[in-house]
Amino acid sequence: MLRALYDWVFSLARHKRASWALAGISFVESSVFPIPPDVLLIPMVLAEKRKWLFYAALCTLASVIGAFLGYFIGAVLYDVIGKPILDFYQMGDKFDDIARWYNEWGGWGVLFAAMTPFPYKVITIFSGATGLNFLIFTIVSIVGRGTRFFIVSGLLYLFGEPVRDFIEKRLGLMFILAVVLLLGGFLAIKYVF
């Protein structure tokens, strides 16, 4: 079953509209969607290594634009959209405590979330809801997201075939690792804040 799913994702990575899908996932992941763009970025770079810079830049740009949507949700639509999203991630009741910390350290929080499996959309919404300086938010988002996507794409460009072989030989292990990283982000939300 995992092999069929892997093959299907790889076939999507070669589709003529794959770049649009990558941009779309990168955009919505920064504001509402729980699945990171890496699930499509990785097979796309492995399928077409020569486009690694383009894919990393596309992910970064779409993700930062999506972060602006998350900021807007927090700043303008917090009660209607932002709070339900934060409640989904079990962060709504901790808002006041986090807001105090965030007023002092928010830029570092954005950088941390932008570069790790931590659900970035939580931070983008918090940034808008707490009124984090928009210029700082923008700069840190570009640096954090760019660093993450360019490192992932660059490593796949440099070591693509061995990485692909490793993934294909250990598909079950890779799936478990991806799930652990995703759940780790959610647990970080629950226990760090």
- pTM as predicted: 0.75
Q: Judge contact between 89 and 186, C-beta under 8 A.
A: yes
Q: Tell me which residue of 75, 65, 70, 12 sits closest to 42, measured CA to CA.
A: 12
Q: Judge contact between 128 and 75, C-beta under 8 A.
A: yes
How distant is the alpha carbon of residue 74 from its chain centre?
Answer: 18
In this prediction, residue 135 has a pLDDT band, given cuts at 50, 70 and 90, of very high
- In this predicted structure, the answer to whether residue 64 has a pLDDT above a threshold of 90 is yes
CA-to-CA separations, 147 to 138, 141, 176, 193, in angstroms, rounded: 14, 10, 25, 24
Kindly write down the DSSP assignment for every residue of 53-105, as one continuous string: HHHHHHHHHHHHHHHHHHHHHHHHSIIIIIHHHHHHTT-GGGHHHHHHHHHHH
CA–CA gap between residue 154 and residue 185 (Å, rounded): 23
10-14, 137-141, 170-174 — which is least confidently predicted? 170-174
pLDDT for 166:
65
Tens of pLDDT, residue by residue over 80-117, are 887 787 777 676 666 777 777 776 777 777 877 777 66
Kindly write down the DSSP assignment for every residue of 162-176, as one continuous string: HHHHHHHHTHHHHHH
